[in-house]
């Protein structure tokens, strides 16, 4: 905890405006992506070759901005983005009819064959017409391709950038997730005029991995600052139905979530495997989507999750090396079996993310959350469920002098992360991103990482003593391996790759990569 320099207190950090080029505030980014989803549809086709015919058909209805081809299982789809809101396009779509079919309005469609059995005029031409197709490519590399790129990397820092760029959530993955949220929004907006289904978590915080789950929260009365119309002067007021004293209660939320789950299960195309987890601290409905290939967690009372995503997004914007560092550490933890996709007593990716950001605070590359709160203005005020989520939203107004343009590179930070936590006293010290320094632990939890927004909560409360010991051993092994590899990319591949004979659902056993030789074994082997 003594790594922070003596002259780098918060008071000395408030010196000059930070230089953030092309910064987009989180809420503006969400607003842009939601509007993008309103201009988009997902269309099932027979094959990729159907794209030309689909493009010319859609272009006859409204101007087309872009198209993405993708596959889910063996089915082919195109995500089509129009230049304007696609509500007119959906109005002109044919509704399915037949026994047992309930027609619904949805952004997910299928492209049926022409009545005449032929293609549209110009759809089968080559040359300029083919080049006119606004098809954007989005390819997820295979593990073999990633390993090949890693072997070609010259330095450890280059390898870490490869890990980041090849595993991060791509443009198509982000759009499909927002379109999934849009489907639920469309189903509800006829009854709730200010409804919004907001994404949060790894999808939008800049730390999302390809194939990550989609976290959603339903807001019945969402208004985005200046983009909402002011109708308060009207003398005509809509009637409403009050929930009385039960409004906002746990039972009321659970009842609403039950109804929402029934709506998704009975009426929304593509949604399957609906699971109601209503007894959790935050009641959620889990489901999968067969058109977008996304697994979703839907809630109604988790705006703190949205604001936490915004805070992580801001940290990623403040330090360009933060996201690649987080990706590498999470990849390393997955490779050796420290993390697990199912909840339990082990270290989570969220805990690892906060540990990484805290280390960057310690080395003065990121400001403390308290400093972000102190810089907030009246327009940054956010309170939800009695939790104060106020902090500066526009980084161009932040006055802070960082060391992010120092001579440190990604390899230095990775080695520094392992060295720092090898020496960290988890038994007595807690981790506070609010203060940006160690604090005394308020209880006897094996690891105590203070939630930056819910200050009384420990985000690593679930972690057991055995898992902390496994973390210590893994940190020591990783630090030793980094010291000995000397830019040997094959050794780095071993560090971040899971052995081929280990399945995804591995047992809770630490998988050492290039395990450190035991001194005791030197004598017992003789």
**Worst-scoring range by mean pLDDT, 121-125, 196-200, 274-278, 312-316?**
121-125
* Residue 50 counted as domain residue: yes
| CATH label of the domain that carries residue 455 | 1.10.1410.10
Q: For residue 427, is pLDDT > 50? A: yes
The domain tally of the chain equals 2
Q: 284: left (phi > 0), else alpha (psi -120 to 50), else beta?
A: beta
Looking at 114, 135, 156, the residue that finishes a domain is 114
Looking at 114, 141, 169, the residue that finishes a domain is 114
Q: For residue 447, is pLDDT > 50? A: yes
* Residue 459 counted as domain residue: yes
Q: What confidence score (pLDDT) does residue 4 get?
A: 42
Q: For residue 342, is pLDDT > 50? A: yes
Question: Per-residue pLDDT tens for 162-197?
Answer: 999 999 999 999 999 999 999 999 999 989 988 999
Asked whether 390 and 381 are in contact (CB, 8 A), the reply is: yes
* Residue 249 counted as domain residue: no
* Residue 170 counted as domain residue: no
Q: What is the mean pLDDT of residues 278-283?
A: 92
Q: What confidence score (pLDDT) does residue 406 get?
A: 61
Q: What confidence score (pLDDT) does residue 522 get?
A: 46
**Worst-scoring range by mean pLDDT, 75-84, 207-216, 222-231, 264-273?**
222-231
Residue 222 banded pLDDT, cuts 50, 70, 90: confident
Looking at 70, 97, 114, the residue that finishes a domain is 114
Residue 444 banded pLDDT, cuts 50, 70, 90: very high
**Worst-scoring range by mean pLDDT, 38-42, 225-229, 379-383?**
225-229
* Residue 200 counted as domain residue: no
Q: For residue 509, is pLDDT > 90? A: no
Q: For residue 31, is pLDDT > 70? A: yes
Q: Which long-range contacts (CB under 8 A, 24 or more apart) does 21-30 make?
A: 23/317, 23/394, 23/395, 23/396, 25/393, 25/394, 26/204, 26/309, 26/310, 26/313, 26/314, 26/393, 27/224, 27/225, 27/310, 27/393, 29/204, 29/313, 30/198, 30/199, 30/204
* Residue 305 counted as domain residue: no
The single-letter DSSP state of residue 453 is S
Q: For residue 246, is pLDDT > 90? A: no
Domain holding 68, by residue range, is: 23-114
Q: For residue 142, is pLDDT > 90? A: no
Q: Residue 252 is encoded by which pair of tokens?
A: 């009321």
Residue 15 banded pLDDT, cuts 50, 70, 90: very low
Q: What confidence score (pLDDT) does residue 456 get?
A: 92
* CA angle centred on 127, ends 123 and 128, rounded to 5°: 80
Asked whether 171 and 138 are in contact (CB, 8 A), the reply is: yes
| Average pLDDT over the chain, rounded to an integer | 85
Q: What confidence score (pLDDT) does residue 399 get?
A: 84
| CATH label of the domain that carries residue 103 | 3.30.70
Q: Give percent above pLDDT 70 in the chain.
A: 83
> What does residue 347 show for φ and ψ, rounded to 5 degrees?
-70, 135
CA separation for the pair 282, 177 (Å, rounded): 21
**Worst-scoring range by mean pLDDT, 119-123, 279-283, 319-323, 371-375?**
119-123
CA separation for the pair 1, 75 (Å, rounded): 53
Q: For residue 128, is pLDDT > 50? A: no
Residue 250 banded pLDDT, cuts 50, 70, 90: confident
Q: What confidence score (pLDDT) does residue 420 get?
A: 97
* Residue 187 counted as domain residue: no
* Residue 241 counted as domain residue: no
88 compared with 436, residue with greater pLDDT: 436
Q: What confidence score (pLDDT) does residue 402 get?
A: 62
């Amino acid at each position: 905890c003594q790594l922070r320099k003596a002259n780098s207190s918060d008071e000395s950090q408030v010196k000059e405006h930070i230089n953030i080029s092309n910064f987009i505030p989180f809420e503006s980014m969400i607003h842009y992506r939601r509007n993008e989803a309103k201009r988009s549809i997902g269309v099932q086709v027979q094959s990729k070759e159907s794209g030309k015919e689909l493009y010319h058909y859609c272009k006859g209805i409204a101007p087309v901005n872009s198209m993405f081809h993708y596959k889910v299982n063996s089915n082919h789809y195109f995500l089509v983005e129009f230049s304007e809101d696609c509500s007119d396009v959906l109005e002109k779509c044919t509704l399915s009819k037949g026994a047992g079919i309930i027609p619904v309005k949805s952004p997910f469609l299928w492209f049926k064959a022409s009545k005449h059995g032929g293609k549209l005029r110009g759809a089968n031409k080559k040359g300029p017409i083919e080049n006119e197709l606004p098809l954007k490519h989005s390819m997820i590399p295979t593990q073999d391709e990633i390993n090949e790129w890693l072997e070609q990397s010259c330095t450890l820092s280059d390898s870490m950038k490869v890990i980041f760029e090849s595993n991060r959530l791509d443009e198509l993955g982000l759009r499909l997730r927002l379109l999934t949220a849009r489907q639920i929004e469309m189903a509800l907006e006829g009854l709730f005029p200010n409804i919004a289904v907001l994404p949060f978590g790894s999808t939008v915080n800049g730390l999302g991995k390809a194939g990550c789950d989609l976290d959603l929260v339903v807001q019945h009365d969402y208004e985005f600052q200046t983009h909402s119309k002011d109708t308060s002067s009207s003398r005509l007021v809509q009637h409403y139905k009050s929930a009385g004293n039960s409004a906002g209660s746990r039972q009321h939320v659970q009842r609403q979530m039950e109804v929402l789950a029934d709506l998704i299960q009975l009426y929304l195309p593509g949604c399957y495997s609906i699971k109601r987890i209503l007894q959790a601290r935050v009641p959620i409905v889990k489901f999968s989507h067969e058109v977008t290939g996304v697994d979703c967690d839907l809630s109604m009372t988790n705006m703190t999750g949205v604001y936490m995503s915004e805070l992580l997004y801001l940290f990623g914007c403040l330090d360009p090396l933060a996201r690649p560092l987080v990706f590498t550490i999470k990849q390393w933890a997955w490779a050796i079996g420290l993390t697990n996709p199912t909840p339990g007593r082990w270290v989570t990716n969220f805990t690892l993310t906060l540990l990484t950001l805290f280390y960057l605070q310690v080395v003065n590359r990121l400001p403390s959350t308290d400093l972000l709160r102190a810089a907030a203005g009246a327009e940054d005020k956010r309170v939800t469920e009695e939790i104060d989520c106020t902090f500066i939203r526009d980084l161009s107004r932040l006055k802070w002098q960082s060391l992010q343009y120092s001579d440190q590179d990604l390899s230095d930070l990775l080695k520094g992360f392992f060295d720092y936590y090898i020496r960290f006293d988890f038994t007595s010290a807690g981790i506070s991103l609010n203060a940006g320094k160690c604090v005394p632990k308020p209880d006897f939890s094996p690891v105590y990482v203070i939630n930056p927004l819910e200050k009384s909560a420990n985000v690593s409360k679930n972690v057991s003593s055995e898992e902390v010991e496994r973390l210590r051993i893994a940190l020591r092994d990783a630090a030793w391996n980094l010291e000995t590899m000397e830019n040997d990319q094959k050794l780095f591949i071993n560090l971040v790759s899971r052995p081929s004979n280990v399945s995804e659902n591995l047992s809770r056993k630490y998988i050492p990569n290039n395990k450190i030789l035991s001194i005791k074994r030197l004598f017992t082997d003789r």
